[in-house]
Structure 1
Amino acid sequence: MKSFIIDKLYNRVEERGVVCVGLDTAIEYIPSHLFEGRSETEALVEFNKQIIDATIDVAACFKVQIAYYEALGLKGMLAYKETLDYLREKDAIIIADIKRGDIAATAKQYAKAHFEGDFEVDFITLSPYMGMDSIEPYMPYMEKGNKGVFTLVRTSNPGAEDIEMVKTEDGRDVYKVVGDKLTEMGSKVSGDCGYSSIGGVIGCTHVEEGIEIRKRFKNMFFLIPGYGAQGGKAEDVALYLNNGNGGVVNSSRAILLAYKKQEGREKEFALCAREEAIRMRDEIRAAVDNL
């Protein structure tokens, strides 16, 4: 039977917990000593490598937000590629947070850009609000088994109310229509774990909806933002999981900048990141156990 990338992610969660380390690395996050003898982008790559080394065994996956690298121009994109290369060396599961959303030939080129070549990753994030034909060009890669997507469904930002919560003619919220269509499409690329390679981005800051969302999209694996800096708590996150699996929980600043909360530990930034990832993992595990 064909194996799917979602099975690998599911197994990583079983082994290492739900933490997704967000490498949304801004230059100002990097401790000053890393700039000694290095350019900005060299320091950025070195910072990322040390964070990866410190958290690889306690994180299910890593999410790299491309905007932080695009903002630095060509040298930033080289740092992005070098970060991806290092993650692959470590057999890490990589989510590229690119949020593309276009159709036809353009989407095919996005798929080629991020599922092949210099910027190849395991999963990418997509916006489905142009319709399901904006997702279809990625299907051939997913059908081969080794690629997946996380598609925006119910996001954690306040502006999500503007579109995602609008009622349709049949009484469903727009995000539910989107999620239902993605579930149907994803049935073609379901793994042995019971989840589809078409996952959903589901923010954990809408606690009142959590149980309903998890039940409605029972075969959808979630990428869960909103924990920590955006106000989501461990007990909120637990509602979006199935017995502690079925999703990964992203944390970027809280892990990358953990050293700033502890005076005098700048040179131990990677160890601080590890400690925060473990604290987060264990806190969510305890919340799941207390459900």
Structure 2
Amino acid sequence: MTFAYAVTDRTRRLGTRLCVGLDPRLDAYRDSDQLRDHTLDVLEATAPYAACVKPQLAFYEALGLQGLKILEDVCAAARTLGLPVLLDGKRGDIGSTALAYAQGWLTGRHAGAALTISPFLGFETMTPFVETARAHGGAVFVLVKTSNPGQGDLQGSGVSERVAVEVARLCAQEPQGEYASVGAVVGATHPQDLTLFRALMPRALLLLPGLGAQGGVAADLAGAFGPGGVGALASASRGVQYANGLDVQASVHAAHTFRDDLNAALGVTGR
């Protein structure tokens, strides 16, 4: 089962388009053991409302070797729960270094089934990531238009649209199917652009970061979705994991609310 199929199947079965981000911040905890336990508790408790889970690599790497072990535990727990894992690492490099990143984050116990990647060193640098993802039934999500306010410094003037055309070309290389192994990151903070990017990349899964804490609103995101309300994942991280400090039930309530708000925007119902 490919990542794209698994996410789409979960969306249909559970009626959820929410991607739960897990960004554990050490300063919120007594120690790394509490960080690990709380992160796993949030993962398990919010799983019924999630189409996939998105650990942000930076927060695990910041903890050194212990953080990588926690990441392995998070990935293992997600697989046990049937949750596809999308690692947010925004990797991008040339030649053998790109291949090493691809092997490191798309294969192995600590790896995800999908990875965010940056195209801004040139489109050929995406090849090792795309090929590794395809070989392992995974996916890559190419940065097209990110959620941060400063994205326009480099992503404006038609650059995002040019990257979107390349994503569509890569999708077209694959056998016909609903969604391909190459997806795109388009921030939930750019609702006015979602219909355009959906049209430019009809076979790409769209990852919409920025729901909640960054200002993205579920009611504005309908344009990113394809027929039947599939084809996109709206991601909330701080707004779920730290909805009310370390209160796990608050995280559950937040995930439930985000799921229902997304469904309302699309005129569909959850399970």
Answer whether contact 2:222 2:265 (CA < 8 A) is retained: yes
Residues 1:186 and 2:171 aligned together: yes
2:181 alignment partner AA: S
Q: Which residue of 2 aligns with 1:107?
A: 98
Offset of residue 109 of structure 1: 0.6
Residues 1-291 of structure 1: pairs in structure 2 closer than 5 A: 4-16=2-14, 17-30=16-29, 35=30, 40-144=31-135, 146-166=137-157, 173-189=158-174, 192=177, 194-242=178-226, 243-260=228-245, 269-289=247-267
Q: Distance in 2 between matches of 1:191 and 1:275?
A: 38
Answer whether contact 1:199 1:222 (CA < 8 A) is retained: yes
Cα deviation per residue 1:135-156 (whole Å; 9 max; x = unaligned)? Answer: 1112333333511111100111
Query: Alignment partner of 2:156: what SS?
Result: coil
CA RMSD of aligned residues (A): 1.8
Aligned residue pairs: how many?
266
Query: Alignment partner of 2:72: what SS?
Result: helix
Which one has the largest radius of gyration? Answer: 1
Structure 2 stretches of 5 or more lacking a match? Answer: none
Q: Distance in 1 between matches of 2:41 and 2:19?
A: 16
Aligned residues with identical type, % of pairs: 30
Query: Alignment partner of 1:258: what SS?
Result: coil
Offset of residue 237 of structure 1: 1.5
1:178–1:184 CA distance, 2 compared to 1 (3 A): same
1:189–1:42 CA distance, 2 compared to 1 (3 A): farther
Answer whether contact 2:167 2:201 (CA < 8 A) is retained: no
Q: Which residue of 2 aligns with 1:169?
A: none
Answer whether contact 1:5 1:145 (CA < 8 A) is retained: no
Offset of residue 247 of structure 1: 0.7
User: Normalised by the size of structure 1, how large is the TM-score?
Assistant: 0.86
Answer whether contact 1:225 1:251 (CA < 8 A) is retained: yes
Answer whether contact 1:198 1:220 (CA < 8 A) is retained: yes
Query: Alignment partner of 1:81: what SS?
Result: helix
1:116–1:274 CA distance, 2 compared to 1 (3 A): same
Offset of residue 270 of structure 1: 1.9
Query: Alignment partner of 1:224: what SS?
Result: strand
Answer whether contact 1:189 1:198 (CA < 8 A) is retained: no
2:250 alignment partner AA: C
Answer whether contact 1:128 1:134 (CA < 8 A) is retained: yes
Answer whether contact 1:42 1:79 (CA < 8 A) is retained: no
Q: Which residue of 2 aligns with 1:170?
A: none
Cα deviation per residue 1:137-188 (whole Å; 9 max; x = unaligned)? Answer: 123333335111111001111111111112xxxxxx0111111011101223
2:234 alignment partner AA: V
Answer whether contact 1:227 1:250 (CA < 8 A) is retained: yes
Query: Alignment partner of 1:86: what SS?
Result: helix
1:127–1:190 CA distance, 2 compared to 1 (3 A): farther
